[in-house]
């Protein structure tokens, strides 16, 4: 069980940031779903829920998603669906249940860069940027490799660049953590694959070429080469060798959908 000494509803991001700098026991609360599983003695639990960060705003170039937006909002947002198809829906639909997804926040899902994250995998497969209170705007791909620090993630921006993304994951049982996550993006100039739950932070592999995706044999070769570039680990859900084999299967499935099924965009 965790304990909280002071619960602070922040009036501004500046106040939240200053309080967070007072030490590692001063933390931001998102949906509180991960935090409540822990055993921390929290000095100040900082709530951002009155700062208007629970909106998904669309402009001509993309979507600006506040850190307090819930996974359920991502799942049912019509604009995101029109622009990116079912990638966000597919990425979150196995995460526990609707009531859970009504609380789990984008900030709490992206900032910790969990090694099992479906959400990180999906955003990495798009052209995404994080907006940090102190660190400014940086590509998510850079952020995904950075060590955890004391900043606050305020928004994530996803550009509409016409890419099509297919999301795949594999679980031993429904609603469990994934054994592996995989999202393949088809861009104007080629393919990119994100592999997550390796069980390490998701990575994007963009330097494998696939010239004729209509050819099943070429898809197998792309999958083999892409899986060969990622590092996998072992845990109670699967070995590194198993994950590598799984990666090849999920990549081929995603490529096949992207090539043959026009509903997967
Ligand atoms: C039982 C269970 C099963 C899960 N299964 C999956 C799964 O299958 N796939 C998957 O992808 N995820 C899964 N998750 C993770 C889940 O989707 C959420 O990502 C997670 O619960 C955190 O979201 P939250 O909003 O509750 O964050 P919180 O628990 O409130 O916070 C999590 C961490 O993020 C920090 N934080 C929150 N917001 C910010 C911010 N704006 N800026 C900086 N730091 C911030 C907090 O200080 C804390 O350290 C699971 C979680 C649980 C508890």
Q: In this structure, what CATH number is given to the domain that contains residue 194?
A: 3.30.390.50
**Do 135 and 113 share a structural domain?**
yes
Distance 109 CA to ligand 1 centre (A): 4
**Do 149 and 72 share a structural domain?**
yes
**Do 168 and 152 share a structural domain?**
no
Q: Which of 23-27, 153-157, 163-167, 258-262 has the lowest mean pLDDT?
A: 258-262
Does the pLDDT of residue 262 top 80, yes or no?
no
**Do 68 and 90 share a structural domain?**
yes
Instruction: Provide the pLDDT for residue 58.
Output: 97
**Do 154 and 60 share a structural domain?**
yes
In ligand 1, the atom with minimum distance to the C-alpha of 33 is 26
**Do 252 and 231 share a structural domain?**
yes
Please write the tens of the pLDDT for every residue from 140-151: 999 999 999 999
Distance 211 CA to ligand 1 centre (A): 38
In ligand 1, the atom with minimum distance to the C-alpha of 53 is 41
pTM of the model: 0.96
Domain count, the chain: 3
Does the pLDDT of residue 232 top 60, yes or no?
yes
**Do 148 and 189 share a structural domain?**
no
**Do 184 and 131 share a structural domain?**
no
**Do 250 and 185 share a structural domain?**
yes
Pocket test for ligand 1, best of 104, 110, 172 (most atoms within 8 A of CB): 104
Does the pLDDT of residue 121 top 60, yes or no?
yes
Please write the tens of the pLDDT for every residue from 38-85: 999 999 999 999 999 999 999 999 999 999 999 999 999 999 999 999
HSE value, Cβ hemisphere, 13 Å, CA-based, for 71: 30
**Do 239 and 215 share a structural domain?**
yes
Please write the tens of the pLDDT for every residue from 159-170: 999 999 999 999
Pocket test for ligand 1, best of 17, 30, 131 (most atoms within 8 A of CB): 30
Reported confidence tier of residue 1, pLDDT bands at 50, 70, 90: confident
- % of the chain beyond a pLDDT of 70: 98
CATH code of the domain in which 72 resides = 3.30.465.10
Distance 247 CA to ligand 1 centre (A): 25
Please write the tens of the pLDDT for every residue from 92-109: 999 999 999 999 999 999
Pocket of ligand 1 (CB under 6 A): 27-35, 37, 67, 94-96, 104-105, 107-109, 111-112, 116-119, 152-153, 177-178
Does the pLDDT of residue 13 top 80, yes or no?
yes
Mean pLDDT of all residues in 190-198: 97
Q: Last residue of some domain: 126, 159, 192?
A: 159
Mean pLDDT of all residues in 177-189: 96
Q: List the domain range (segments joined by +) for residue 133.
A: 56-159
**Do 26 and 8 share a structural domain?**
yes
Mean pLDDT of all residues in 159-182: 96
Q: Last residue of some domain: 117, 134, 159?
A: 159
Instruction: Provide the pLDDT for residue 260.
Output: 86
**Do 206 and 143 share a structural domain?**
no
């Amino acid at each position: 069980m965790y304990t909280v000494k002071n619960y602070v509803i922040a009036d501004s991001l500046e106040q939240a940031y200053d309080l967070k700098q007072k030490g590692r026991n001063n933390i931001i609360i998102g949906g509180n779903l991960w935090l409540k599983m822990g055993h921390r003695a929290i000095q100040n639990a900082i709530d951002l829920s009155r700062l208007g960060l629970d909106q998904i705003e669309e402009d001509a170039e993309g979507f600006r998603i506040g850190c307090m937006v819930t996974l359920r909002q991502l799942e049912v947002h019509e604009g995101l669906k029109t622009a990116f198809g079912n990638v966000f829906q597919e990425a979150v639909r196995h995460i526990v249940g609707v009531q859970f997804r009504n609380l789990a926040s984008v900030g709490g899902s992206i900032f910790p860069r969990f090694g099992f994250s479906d959400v990180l995998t999906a955003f990495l497969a798009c052209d995404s940027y994080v907006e940090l209170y102190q660190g400014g705007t940086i590509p998510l791909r850079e952020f995904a490799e950075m060590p955890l620090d004391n900043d606050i993630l305020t928004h994530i921006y996803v550009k509409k660049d016409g890419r099509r993304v297919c999301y795949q994951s594999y679980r031993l049982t429904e609603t469990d953590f994934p054994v592996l996550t995989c999202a393949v993006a088809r861009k104007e100039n080629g393919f990119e694959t994100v592999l997550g739950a390796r069980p390490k932070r998701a990575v994007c592999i963009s330097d494998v070429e696939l010239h004729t995706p209509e050819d099943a044999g070429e898809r197998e070769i792309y999958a083999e080469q892409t899986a060969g570039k990622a590092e996998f680990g072992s845990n109670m859900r699967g070995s590194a060798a198993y994950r590598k084999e799984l990666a090849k299967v999920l990549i081929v499935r995603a490529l096949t959908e992207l090539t043959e099924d026009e509903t997967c965009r």
